[in-house]
Amino acid sequence: MSQPAQARSRRTRNRLIAAAEDEIAAQGFEGLRVDAVVRRAGVAKGTFFAHFADKEILIEELIAARLEAELQRLEAAPPPHDLDGFIAALMPAWSLMTQERYVFDVIARHSTAMGIANLGPLAIAFQRLYDVISDWLSGAPFRTDVTRRLLAEGVQAFALQSMALEFCALHNQIGLAARLRPYLRAWLLPNHAAGTKKAPETGALSVAAEAA
Amino acid sequence: MSQPAQARSRRTRNRLIAAAEDEIAAQGFEGLRVDAVVRRAGVAKGTFFAHFADKEILIEELIAARLEAELQRLEAAPPPHDLDGFIAALMPAWSLMTQERYVFDVIARHSTAMGIANLGPLAIAFQRLYDVISDWLSGAPFRTDVTRRLLAEGVQAFALQSMALEFCALHNQIGLAARLRPYLRAWLLPNHAAGTKKAPETGALSVAAEAA
DNA sequence: GACCAGATTTGACCGTGGTCATTTAACCGC
DNA sequence: GCGGTTAAATGACCACGGTCAAATCTGGTC
């Protein structure tokens, strides 16, 4: 994977990626067309598919690259020491994932590994994210009756669900952080949760329940 | 919705649905082709799209119908009185969702409402499912420091994540129920989990931790 | 039963992702 | 440089979801 090919091939691949980035900057991920990329790169259509098994794999790579950049920041950052700090620290990564509905869908589909010995770039990035979160969660205020790993996976489960809701017109008057908070509080600080009765701790979906 | 059309139209629609069911029985959801449905129904292609905005909406309806049937059973069933009963009771609904990867993807994309005042059939079915789960969770052994609704939504978040993992070749030596259990235990019974410091009963839990 | 307005159906057509046999370029030993 | 072998690129072609102006049917009115 490191040295897959001759120089010409690498150049072509880079041209394709650059062209795709340009197109995405102009049209967004959703509006990306293989024909447009290929035209901009000055290359035949078949060439595209010689380099990327399908369109989604290219997109996955581009999203993963953005995520990796954010991960680098997260890994360097000091661990947060309370729930709100935790949420704030992860917010940039989460906003990245919710920029575009299309992007979120790709992530939802690929954030778990999809084939034996064949973790896609997004799945790999998510493993790294789990590591960061696990690490942060091992510390002081958070529950310890359960492995950090399990805790981290739970955080992702709630995050994905809240993000999905973010795209639902019925519920989007409330921000991601606000939506996510009650879940994480109940998940990460189960003993504290009983103490407060402030604010509507109803689930984010209750708005929909009303409407139904 | 009740009286959408003249009789001819309703007949055509039913023929399309029946044809689609036949095709799905033969080819699975993934293999469904609009052309095949239309041919089998003896109808022109345009007619299909006069009845269903797109292919996915038909599929959504068919999946929702199966889910509704299961919901009827769930609503009639007695509430489970412990965690394993809870999991066992919901298992049929969850297996329904994991029959086919394609089906799961559609569910993941449509289980939350997608447009104002326009809950799709799947979103509606999921509201019903939340109601059932909320109801079951209000009872005895489960935590009460948090609303039933929030608890129910959390259950779905974990269920969806575990299902996604179910399709990941790297992790599929472990069944859905076994994968899900440690999450639900930690989510629904946080105090029981906290009771034991060295966590001797977390056998299933550590399996999930290991999987990483 | 002749007529009409609106609902329904039709099928040729299009956009777009993806395939593959063929052609062209790169590398290597001589 | 010169054949020859493998890697890379090409573009005509296909599959499939979806569109739309035109044709056809239906139920109601006189």
Q: What is the pLDDT of residues B46-84, one digit of tens each?
A: 999 999 999 999 999 999 999 999 999 999 999 999 999
The dihedral through the CA atoms of B98, A204, A97, A185 has a sign that is negative
- pLDDT value of residue A126: 94
Nucleotide showing the shortest C1' distance to residue A5 CA: D7
- Among B159, B48, B157, B68, residue whose Cα is nearest residue B121: B68
CA distance A122 to A66: 10
Q: Look over chain B and give the mean of its residue pLDDT values, rounded to a whole number.
A: 87
Does the pLDDT at position B210 exceed 50? no
Q: Same domain for A96 and A82?
A: yes
Q: Same domain for A36 and A70?
A: no
Q: Same domain for B98 and B183?
A: yes
Q: What is the CATH number of the domain that holds A19?
A: 1.10.10.60
- Mean pLDDT along residues A27-42: 97
- Mean pLDDT along residues A127-153: 93
- Among A161, A143, A159, A163, residue whose Cα is nearest residue A151: A143
Q: Same domain for A160 and A192?
A: yes
Tokens encoding B34: 């609009």
Q: Same domain for A28 and A87?
A: no
- pLDDT value of residue A121: 93
Give CA torsion, residues A111, A116, A120, A126, to 10 deg. Answer: 40
What SS3 state is found at B3?
coil
Judge contact between A159 and A112, C-beta under 8 A.
no
The Å distance, CA of B53 to C1' of D24, is: 22
Tokens encoding B169: 């070749």
Q: Is B140 on the interface with A (CB under 8 A)?
A: no
Q: What is the pLDDT of residues A40-66, one digit of tens each?
A: 999 999 999 999 999 999 999 999 999
Beta-carbon-side half-sphere exposure of residue B31 (alpha carbons within 13 Å): 8
Name the least confident of A69-78, A102-111, A115-124, B123-132: A115-124
Give chain A's largest Cα–Cα span: 64
Q: What is the pLDDT of residues B166-196, one digit of tens each?
A: 887 666 678 899 999 999 999 999 877 544 4
Q: What is the CATH number of the domain that holds A172?
A: 1.10.357
Does the pLDDT at position A3 exceed 60? no
CA distances from B7 to B12, B13, B79 (A): 9, 10, 42
Of A105, A190, A208, the CB nearest to B113: A208
Name the least confident of A4-13, B101-110, B197-206: B197-206
Of A112, A156, A202, the CB nearest to B147: A202
Q: Same domain for B61 and B166?
A: yes
Q: Is B190 on the interface with A (CB under 8 A)?
A: yes
Which residues have a Cβ under 8 Å from the Cβ of A212 and sit 6 or more positions away? B119, B124, B127
Does the pLDDT at position A13 exceed 60? yes
Q: What is the CATH number of the domain that holds B79?
A: 1.10.357.10
Beta-carbon-side half-sphere exposure of residue A150 (alpha carbons within 13 Å): 27
- pLDDT value of residue B167: 85
Calculate how close chain A gets to B147, using CA atoms only, in Å.
Answer: 6
Q: Same domain for B88 and B155?
A: yes
Give the residue numbers spanning the domain of A44. Answer: 1-52
* Bigger pLDDT: B173 vs A72: A72
Give the burial class of A52: count Cβ atoms within 10 A of its Cβ; 0-12 exposed, 13-18 middle, 19 or more buried.
buried
Q: Which of residues 74-93 of A touch B (CB under 8 A)?
A: none
Q: Same domain for B132 and B75?
A: yes
- pLDDT value of residue A199: 44
Name the least confident of A87-91, A138-142, B181-185, B189-193: B189-193
DSSP characters for chain A? --S-S-HHHHHHHHHHHHHHHHHHHHHTTTT--HHHHHHHHT--HHHHHHH-SSHHHHHHHHHHHHHHHHHHHHHHSPPP-SHHHHHHHHHHHHHHHHSSHHHHHHHHHHSS--STT---HHHHHHHHHHHHHHHHHTSTTS--SS-HHHHHHHHHHHHHHHHHHHT-GGGTTS-HHHHHHHHHHHHH-HHHHTT---S----TTHHHHHH-
- Give chain A's domain count: 2
Give residue B6's pLDDT band: very low, low, confident or very high (50, 70, 90).
confident
Q: Same domain for B36 and B107?
A: no
- Mean pLDDT along residues A72-82: 95
The Å distance, CA of B121 to C1' of D11, is: 44
Q: Same domain for A129 and A196?
A: yes
Judge contact between B87 and B179, C-beta under 8 A.
no
Q: Same domain for B62 and B38?
A: no
CA of B160: which chain A residue's CA is closest? A157
- Among A67, A69, A63, A82, residue whose Cα is nearest residue A21: A63
Give residue B112's pLDDT band: very low, low, confident or very high (50, 70, 90).
confident
The Å distance, CA of A50 to C1' of D1, is: 32
Q: Same domain for A29 and A97?
A: no
Q: Which nucleotides of D are covered by protein (CB under 7 A)?
A: 7-13, 16-21, 25-27
